[in-house]
Amino acid sequence: MEFEPIAIVGRGCVLPDALDPDTFWDNIAAGRTSLSAAPDGDRWRLPRRLAMGTVGDHLDRTWTDAGGYVRGFESVFDPGGFRIAPERILSLDPLFHWVMYGVRQALTEAGREGPLPRAGLVLGNLSYPTPTGAVYAEHVWLSAQQPALRDALLTGERRRRPDARNRFSSGLPARLAARALGLGAGAWSLDAACASSLYAVKLACDRLHDGTADLMVAGAVSRADPLYLHVGFCGLSATSRTGRSRPFHRDADGLVHGEGAGFVALMRLSDARAAGLPVLGVIRGVGLSNDGRGAGLISP
């Protein structure tokens, strides 16, 4: 059975050194590398000396802090203009903000604004703890301790418990983004590990092919607690010892963590042409896979 091609009519992203798709493309064309050491501040929530180990000694520690980190997003994000009160948005982890921002970018480039009763969202979302989710869990645990320990550790800003909605960082971001942008054809999240974005695109195309939607946004987000990723993947010996991610290269020695979000707005090609929309790309098929044939969990 042949399916109608699907047109890409909009793009949106929040990525290291690129808070919009054109900047991301410029970085690729210029061969820029957006890896760096972990930003100063509270991204790791403990002194670096306690987190850093070596390749030979990394029990509950990491041998590297290299990664792709998003910076400057707060300067471009406007919580207004959504169908959710700004104060309700700002109490959520930035993962939620990245999804709302990136989906809105893609819809804006496609010339589509809500309410959109025949539009939906499929979000690939690695279900790791977010920084705010980790702080929430920490607060719950410390609150149950003896007063002396509780009061010694829950001081200053740490006395305030984060918004409880941050517990639901897997499925809720898609649902809230759809509500905030007036997408009426449904929204959900999936976790297919490194193939999550491909599955999101495929399932979004299915919605367009079966006629249950006329516009779909597909994409993925990753904003896990960076120390959780570094320690966990060093424990799996999956993190690159050279700080370089080179899939399928003969000298590949592991992955390098990154964070960000990316989205495409999709329509049936005939509908996009009828609406006079610029067609940025055409999808005629989607390849799906995750993990490899080897015994290793992260073998390509």
pLDDT digits (tens, 9 = 90+) for 147-184: 999 999 998 888 999 999 999 999 999 999 999 999 99
Using the Cα atoms of residue 208, residue 110, residue 99 and residue 32 in order, give the sign of their dihedral: positive
pLDDT at position 133: 94
pLDDT digits (tens, 9 = 90+) for 256-283: 999 999 999 999 999 999 999 999 999 9
| Per-residue confidence band for 48, with pLDDT thresholds at 50, 70 and 90 | confident
pLDDT at position 114: 82
pLDDT at position 127: 86
In contact, 163 and 169? CB cutoff 8 Å: no
Q: Which amino acid type is present at position 237?
A: S
3-state SS assignment for residue 49: helix
Q: Which letter does DSSP use for residue 75 in this model?
A: G
| Per-residue confidence band for 21, with pLDDT thresholds at 50, 70 and 90 | very high
pLDDT at residue 41 is higher than 80: no
**Phi, psi at residue 258, to the nearest 5°?**
-140, 170
- The rounded radius of gyration (Å) of the Cα atoms in the chain is 21
Strand partners, 282: 7
In contact, 66 and 234? CB cutoff 8 Å: no
Alpha carbon distance 81, 84 (integer Å):
8
Question: Structural domains in the chain?
Answer: 6-283 (3.40.47.10)
Q: H helices of the chain, where? A: 21-29, 48-51, 86-90, 94-109, 131-143, 147-153, 172-181, 196-209, 226-235, 269-274
Q: At what angle do helices 172-181 and 94-109 cross, to 10 degrees?
A: 40
pLDDT at position 299: 61
Q: Which amino acid type is present at position 6?
A: I
Mean pLDDT, the chain, whole residue set: 93
Distance of CA 82 to the CA centre of its chain: 20
Q: For the chain, how are helix, strand and coil distributed in percent, rounded to 5?
A: 35, 15, 45
Q: Which letter does DSSP use for residue 79 in this model?
A: -
Say which residues have a Cβ less than 8 Å from residue 104's Cβ, sequence separation at least 6. 12, 81, 82, 181
pLDDT at position 298: 63
Say which residues have a Cβ less than 8 Å from residue 143's Cβ, sequence separation at least 6. 150, 154, 161
Mean pLDDT of 40-68: 88
Structure tokens at 217: 């946004």
